[in-house]
Amino acid sequence: MRPKIYLTRKFDFAASHRVYNPAWDEEKNREVFGKCSNPAGHGHNYELEVTVAGTPDPETGYVIDMTYLKSLIDEKVIQLLDHKNLNVDVPFLQGKIPSSENLIVALWQQIQALLPPGVELVRLRLQETPKNCFEYYGETLPPH
Amino acid sequence: MRPKIYLTRKFDFAASHRVYNPAWDEEKNREVFGKCSNPAGHGHNYELEVTVAGTPDPETGYVIDMTYLKSLIDEKVIQLLDHKNLNVDVPFLQGKIPSSENLIVALWQQIQALLPPGVELVRLRLQETPKNCFEYYGETLPPH
Amino acid sequence: MRPKIYLTRKFDFAASHRVYNPAWDEEKNREVFGKCSNPAGHGHNYELEVTVAGTPDPETGYVIDMTYLKSLIDEKVIQLLDHKNLNVDVPFLQGKIPSSENLIVALWQQIQALLPPGVELVRLRLQETPKNCFEYYGETLPPH
Amino acid sequence: MRPKIYLTRKFDFAASHRVYNPAWDEEKNREVFGKCSNPAGHGHNYELEVTVAGTPDPETGYVIDMTYLKSLIDEKVIQLLDHKNLNVDVPFLQGKIPSSENLIVALWQQIQALLPPGVELVRLRLQETPKNCFEYYGETLPPH
Amino acid sequence: MRPKIYLTRKFDFAASHRVYNPAWDEEKNREVFGKCSNPAGHGHNYELEVTVAGTPDPETGYVIDMTYLKSLIDEKVIQLLDHKNLNVDVPFLQGKIPSSENLIVALWQQIQALLPPGVELVRLRLQETPKNCFEYYGETLPPH
Amino acid sequence: MRPKIYLTRKFDFAASHRVYNPAWDEEKNREVFGKCSNPAGHGHNYELEVTVAGTPDPETGYVIDMTYLKSLIDEKVIQLLDHKNLNVDVPFLQGKIPSSENLIVALWQQIQALLPPGVELVRLRLQETPKNCFEYYGETLPPH
């Protein structure tokens, strides 16, 4: 029997955003989103933890080389977010309200597409401030 | 299909307690609970993480407004614990040994009663010291 | 003899900025400031530590009531920065490049003006990312 | 109904290792493991979180006395790892490549054997650096 | 020339206290100290950093053996504070309001008396909550 | 008047070492250094904070570009230490007992030589474990 191990790698990116629904006027945005809808935006040091699972290769003792996993996600995902404005600069967020809920689902799709066979994406954890964070396990619920 | 997202908000409170079973004499308390049963008590900076789950509203990108969630739990729960003595001052702990195990179950009941429809309480994590913590997922087991 | 004690209180604010010199064209800004000059900006969870010094009042054992110090700086300074754009929204940064060096000097002036007699501002520490921070002790040097 | 509570205790140990497969020559080790296979080794401050689950005893409010749990694992497991070389000094790692994946599975076996009845081992989390960690839940998968 | 090196060792203790001046009635205590004067007390996980300075011994490369420094302070100081009530249980705090300012000055006297020749106490840093801390460098100011 | 600002950048490296004086036999080393002298070594995740001071350039608002400072120290210093054995692999530690005291003095000499004019090295802080750290301010004392 082969043990199933979960590996987590932590990433950081510094980005700005404005929580804003373009279908609403400024007043409704301010009423619903409060300070998070400041017209000139605000920003965060986001921390992203990516957890993948698999079984170790008996020849290396590794599920996947952490240095390789780091480079892959850094180059293909973090570089698109770091020192950027989430409302304007990020191709995979176009047309989405940049809440952490929407960001984490978009990140799931980006990262899942990068992983080699035998390495399963099982959890993303996105910390927006020292006081709050968001997790996604790829689960979906049926429509209402 | 709608993604299921887990939101965690962190709270702090500074409280004192004494682990003590009033059905036992002082000697038995000292024997079983050791330094945790010091007669004049001791205290901690507790950290409480509250995790709720739900699906984002397409109009806001939010499962629930974190600022609202914070205010709700701060006012109705944390204010009852912060700068208090858990053996004496807290209505929902009356008659209970204030171990972290009993505290986290009591917190579950308090917090679950506050949440609006569509927002499910899924995990509490209570850190008592930098070296130990307790989690509760609301599961219950049948009696022996 | 009265002991001199240093008290530090930590504050957080989430803000966006763009490091940008308006006297230069876009190309020169990009060349000098690199990713920090992204036109649509980026952001940080800033942590500010304010250190004041004084001698404890024998009747209270306090140099200054921390709860009072916190409210004062929160209301008069942090509220002007939190969920704001440092290039646009902050009165005391108008006309300044919002580098952390310039921000910390401006914060010194704002905070020093608020403190009651007998409480001396001795250090500000501003953390911009988990990897870097800036300190200012109010020293000034003569011009070249 | 009795609640099921999860208790986590954190441990630290400072150890050296070299990721190295003795069936390969130096060149192949360097090619596959890179800097992690430096011939004279390197090291880490490992953090180990041990999570156990159970139901609180009504007389104590405890699942298990944390002080007892700490002493047990410190004496029987951490003392074998702290200030040691994982390739050479640790009886339960003999003949294994000391990757974190292999280390966490070996730790599971050591710790599970120590726990008293009614206290179930449910998770180990091993942090190797501030940027990466490994989790094991005792799950095994069928062979290919 | 011999370099001067500063060594810091961190300690933790969990204690309760009540900020209270016995020369005042309950109402005045509540008015001045607010929630910190809750009659049944409250508590904290205190973190104490002890910084000493000296020059390394050429034969050992050490200013002082950290393991020895730790044992000394643990046994003679931390054991008197951990899992105690600062208003009642601590010999060296008798008759003092247990504010962090008074606590840190009392700790200075206790720790300074323990250190061997050639090892100078230069700083204590006492963290009361994740948001505030107190430092003392042994400085005294002249009376008013 | 120009303000003097202190900038700190944090670095990490994972290294092994053995505290060992080659002029002594094994028994004396074990007696003096205890577990730190384990023959096959042990290791740490070291954290190094480098603090430099200077006055901001009015055209950039920077004392020094942090990205440049990071690359410089990473390439010339951290690469020589990360995933290395401090007793064997590091040119600037040859012939020295690799205590943190000796390491921090050697790091001072390496880093000071790299800094451009107008940027002064003022403090190194080396954390060896989560519980201890070492600081050096470049001071030297006269010989006995």
Of F36, F41, F45, the CB nearest to D129: F45
Percent of chain F with pLDDT over 70: 99
Average the pLDDT over C107-133 and give the result: 97
CA angle C36, C40, C45 (to 5 degrees): 60
pLDDT level of residue B144 (50, 70, 90 thresholds): low
Q: Is 70 exceeded by the pLDDT of residue F55?
A: yes
Q: Is C53 helix (H, G, I), strand (E, B) or coil?
A: strand
Structure-token pair, residue E65: 């053996």
pLDDT for residue C144 = 62
pLDDT for residue A22 = 95
Segment E93-133, tens digit of pLDDT: 999 999 999 999 999 999 999 999 999 999 999 999 999 99
pLDDT level of residue E144 (50, 70, 90 thresholds): low
C-alpha Rg value of chain A to the nearest Å: 17
What is the identity of the amino acid at B15?
A: A
Segment F43-53, tens digit of pLDDT: 999 999 999 99
For A37, the closest chain B residue by CA position comes to B60
Structure-token pair, residue F27: 């028994």
Strand-strand pairing, E132-141 and E120-129: antiparallel
pLDDT for residue C140 = 82
Characterize E42-74 residue by residue with b for buried, 16 or more Cβ atoms within 10 angstroms of its Cβ, and e for exposed.
bbbbbbbbbbbbbbbbeebbbbbbbeebbebbe
Cα D5 to Cα A102: distance, rounded to the nearest angstrom: 32
Across chain C, what does the average pLDDT equal? 96
For A3, the closest chain D residue by CA position comes to D140
Cα D111 to Cα D78: distance, rounded to the nearest angstrom: 10
Q: Is 70 exceeded by the pLDDT of residue A122?
A: yes
Report the run of H or E that residue D27 belongs to, with start and end. helix D26-33
Across chain D, what does the average pLDDT equal? 96
pLDDT level of residue F143 (50, 70, 90 thresholds): confident
Euclidean distance between the first and the last CA atom of chain D, given in angstroms as a whole number: 41
Closest-CA residue to B130 (of F42, D136, D49, D124):
D49
| CATH class entry, domain C5-136 | alpha beta
Percent of chain A with pLDDT over 90: 95
Strand-strand pairing, A2-17 and A42-54: antiparallel
Cα D137 to Cα D121: distance, rounded to the nearest angstrom: 8
DSSP track, D65-92: -HHHHHHHHIIIIIHHHTTEETTTS-GG
What is the identity of the amino acid at A40?
A: A
Segment B82-115, tens digit of pLDDT: 999 999 999 999 999 999 999 999 999 999 999 9
* Residue A133 known to be catalytic: no
State how far residue E54 is from chain C, nearest Cα, in angstroms: 23
Whether D141 and A55 have beta carbons less than 8 Å apart is answered as yes
Average the pLDDT over F48-71 and give the result: 97
* Residue A139 known to be catalytic: no
Burial class (CB in 10 A: 0-12, 13-18, 19+), B62: buried
Using an 8 Å CB-CB cutoff, list chain A residues near C85. Answer: 16, 38, 40-42
Segment B16-38, tens digit of pLDDT: 999 999 999 999 999 999 999 99
pLDDT level of residue D140 (50, 70, 90 thresholds): confident
Which residues from A are below 8 Å from B when comparing CB atoms? 19, 21, 23, 32-34, 36, 96-99, 101-102, 104-105, 130-137, 139-143
The answer to whether F41 contacts D16, with C-beta atoms less than 8 Å apart, is yes
Measure Cα distances from E19 to A137, C45, E77, E100, E127 in Å.
Answer: 46, 33, 21, 10, 16
Does the predicted TM-score (pTM) go above 0.95?
yes
